[in-house]
Structure 1
Amino acid sequence: MHNTDIIVIGGGIVGSSVAYGLARHGARVTMLDEGDIAFRASRGNFGLVWVQGKGYGFSPYARWTMQSARHWSALASELTQRTGIDPFLQQPGGFIFFTNQADMDARVQVMQSIQASVDEKYDYTLLAPAEIRKRIPTIGPKVIGACYTPMDGHANPLRLLPALQQGARQLGVDYRYNNKVQAIDKRAGRFVVSTAAGEQFSGSKVVLCAGLGNRRLGEFVGLNVPVTPNQGQVMIGERCAPFLSYPTMHVRQTNEGTIQIGDSLEDVGYDDTTRLSLQQAIAQRAIDYFPVLADMRIVRCWAALRIMSPDGMPIYEESTDMPGAYVVTCHSGVTLAANHVFTIPGWILHGESAGMIAPFSSARFRVPNEAQS
């Protein structure tokens, strides 16, 4: 039996952020990672630190996202200083482009609603093609307008994840790879986690950060975690000279010069295979935005599974059946990394920021008569 203070289940960006954050507070942490057999959202994400449009109809999420974006620069600086791994954060603001008026009008409604719902500054600007070209000269003639917010940015997730994991290890986190969790019990006031590797870990608290696996794991500790997969496909183009200084919703140029093109939204269960027809549609949209990409070579493609709650927003909750068991799950692990490092650990350890976190309970998914029963 391996004894620790807190067991974090999940070693992706969310789990590594929480484990790193807990260790910053001096907690003894063991992080159990299923390994590459898992449906890792961390290895297939787009790398955006994105505020624009998030929290439509649910203002706590808008404020939560804005807070994380504000604190991201502090996270990037700390990780770079501690580990020597720079996650290459850039926050010049971000664009969403429109090729038809209906989509643009719908976006205006979303942005106006969010702006009215938050009690802090929420800047956005609608730009005509001539104004877009002043910032992005390569924009195509099919683009009729754009929505720009100064809050948005992007990072390199292939550097963020190892930076978090290395930083966690440096702070004493016991990182156990290829340890799929089979069962969670509670004995004499402590959680006992059993893994497929035949090991057992004991801790006073356990935090579920296993993405799509949280649905199964939640049943062990009395937590309802109604997450389902949603597939997104991404294409990577060859390195080219810098032409895009801003992240956009569907096309971005990485710090290494490659072009990342996405994404799609499909409910196809646990299928993480790519489809040529969908890739063609993604590529055509990118060419409509940036005709300069028409002759670019694609070097690789992938599909990955997002972790989606019924409303698409995070779930943060402590079990009432087994206090000390928590779930931290979302589909925006990059954007929310700063909150998961700087805010979530204080909630888990000391109940801090409980009022800010309470709206993200799974209770919001219960029908009224069920919540009263």
Structure 2
Amino acid sequence: MRTLPDQEIVVVGGGLVGAALAWGLARKGLSPLVLDGEDLSHRASRANFALVWVQGKGVGAPHYARWTIGAARLWSAFAGYVLETSGIDVGLRQRGGFTFALSDAEMTVWADEVQSVAATLGEDAPDHAVLDHAETAKLVPAIGKDVVGSIYSPLDGDVNSLRLFRALHVGMINLGASYRPHSDVTEIVPKAGGFLLKGTWGEVLAGRVVLAAGNDNTRLAPMVGLSAPTLQSKGQILVTEKCAPFFPYASATMRQADEGGVMIGDSQEADTSSIATSQDISTVLAGRAIRTFPQLAPVNVLRSWAGFRVKTPDGLPIYECSPSHPGACVVMCHSGVTLAANHALLVADEIANRETTLAGDRFSGRRFHVPQH
């Protein structure tokens, strides 16, 4: 016996990807129901670094570089639409972003990456500059002597991570979506005319279903004839007490939020399923931050947390509609903040219009279906 009314379309997952899609679907006049998990589920959205970032992305994958650049260029308009629908300013800042190198080897690797992407994209490449220590210090006087140089891209930036998450939820509900937390989906049963979604909370019949459940898509996707493989990838973040403004840009490993606190990150663990933080990793993160900005040495760390990235085997997104179960699709990516503009304004439109391919069919999960010999 069904416990919820039948739905035209259900989005499974209420993180940044699911909320952006639901916001976009509701903006197109649909009334999606978002089924979300528990507060302590392994959510990438709860540990995001809030970067709008293009620098170095798309090495060997120019289609992904173009997809990312397009999203970054849509972000200003998207932030305005979100403000209109939620009343919440997400604090978008696109003043540019730096990747700081603490050794010549790091500098060489990162310069090679951005130059490789630029060479592949040609006229489509975003602006960037490879700067030595003195050139970097002119733009960011607070850097330490250990910074040998940096990569600067004016298209990069960040947002207020907590406000973005809240704004998407408020906005999607104001536009006509509904949200149900504590509703993990344990089973999806294809039915004539739709899909029966089940959980300990009950069940609901949906005409269409969008899987935006992050790492849990790996379990759910095969139920509707799709594949969404992921790799284990855990990251850790430190947050300091509020400081006087000293870094008005963004960085791949550090950002000063608009309220003044500094977020420090960029660790990767692939061999654990524990959500606990590591003191050893915290020490490394803090040490690199202090070498980059020595004035952080006496600043207190207030919070530390870890989260699991949504990481496919090649690191690129998956956007795919099910050929065997029409009406079902999967959307997943690592860069949920950067790509939120594309998800809300482009992918959601494609889903609302019942397109059979998403994002130009450039990121189908079929790419992982390699015959075994």
Give TM-score, length-normalised by structure 2.
Answer: 0.96
Q: Specify the code of the residue in structure 1 equivalent to 2:151.
A: C
Summarize the alignment of residues 1-373 of structure 1 with structure 2, pairs less than 5 Å apart.
1=2, 2-118=5-121, 120-198=124-202, 200-350=203-353, 354=357, 356-367=359-370, 369=371
The RMSD of aligned alpha carbons is 1.5
Shift of 1:334: 0.6
Shift of 1:355: 7.3
Q: Specify the code of the residue in structure 2 equivalent to 1:135.
A: L
Q: Specify the code of the residue in structure 1 equivalent to 2:85.
A: R
Question: How many residues are matched?
Answer: 369
Find the aligned partners of 2:121 and 2:354 in 1 and give their Cα distance. Answer: 24
The question of whether the paired residues in 1 share the 8 Å contact of 2:321 and 2:358 is answered with: no
Find the aligned partners of 1:98 and 1:108 in 2 and give their Cα distance. Answer: 10
Q: Decide which moves more: 48-57 or 265-274.
A: 265-274
Deviations for 1:311-362, whole angstroms, at most 9, x for unmatched residues? 1111111112212111100111011100010000122122569474312111
Find the aligned partners of 2:125 and 2:252 in 1 and give their Cα distance. Answer: 22
Find the aligned partners of 2:103 and 2:231 in 1 and give their Cα distance. Answer: 31
Shift of 1:165: 0.6
Find the aligned partners of 1:34 and 1:243 in 2 and give their Cα distance. Answer: 38
- 2:223 match: secondary structure: helix
The question of whether the paired residues in 2 share the 8 Å contact of 1:192 and 1:203 is answered with: yes
Q: Specify the code of the residue in structure 2 equivalent to 1:20.
A: W
Deviations for 1:129-185, whole angstroms, at most 9, x for unmatched residues? 111111111000011110001110000110101100111111111111111102111
The question of whether the paired residues in 2 share the 8 Å contact of 1:60 and 1:356 is answered with: no
Q: Specify the code of the residue in structure 1 equivalent to 2:219.
A: R
Change over 3 Å in CA distance of 1:352–1:67 after alignment to 2: farther
The question of whether the paired residues in 2 share the 8 Å contact of 1:314 and 1:328 is answered with: yes
Q: Structure 1 unaligned segments of length 5 or more: list them.
A: none
The question of whether the paired residues in 2 share the 8 Å contact of 1:343 and 1:353 is answered with: no
Find the aligned partners of 1:354 and 1:245 in 2 and give their Cα distance. Answer: 40
Find the aligned partners of 2:290 and 2:191 in 1 and give their Cα distance. Answer: 58
- 2:276 match: secondary structure: coil
Find the aligned partners of 1:357 and 1:285 in 2 and give their Cα distance. Answer: 40
Q: Decide which moves more: 102-111 or 58-67.
A: 102-111
Find the aligned partners of 1:244 and 1:236 in 2 and give their Cα distance. Answer: 15
Shift of 1:118: 2.1
Deviations for 1:85-125, whole angstroms, at most 9, x for unmatched residues? 11100000100011211221111221122112225142110
Find the aligned partners of 2:266 and 2:320 in 1 and give their Cα distance. Answer: 30
Find the aligned partners of 1:353 and 1:71 in 2 and give their Cα distance. Answer: 24
Deviations for 1:9-34, whole angstroms, at most 9, x for unmatched residues? 00011100001101111112110001
Q: Specify the code of the residue in structure 2 equivalent to 1:272.
A: I
Q: Decide which moves more: 117-126 or 147-156.
A: 117-126
Q: Decide which moves more: 320-329 or 353-362.
A: 353-362
Q: Specify the code of the residue in structure 1 equivalent to 2:213.
A: A
Q: Specify the code of the residue in structure 1 equivalent to 2:287.
A: Q
Find the aligned partners of 1:290 and 1:357 in 2 and give their Cα distance. Answer: 42
The question of whether the paired residues in 2 share the 8 Å contact of 1:316 and 1:357 is answered with: no
Change over 3 Å in CA distance of 1:206–1:242 after alignment to 2: same
Find the aligned partners of 1:191 and 1:58 in 2 and give their Cα distance. Answer: 35
Find the aligned partners of 1:247 and 1:65 in 2 and give their Cα distance. Answer: 17
Shift of 1:229: 2.8
The question of whether the paired residues in 2 share the 8 Å contact of 1:228 and 1:308 is answered with: yes
- 2:309 match: secondary structure: strand
Shift of 1:270: 2.0
- 1:186 match: secondary structure: strand
Find the aligned partners of 1:108 and 1:353 in 2 and give their Cα distance. Answer: 39
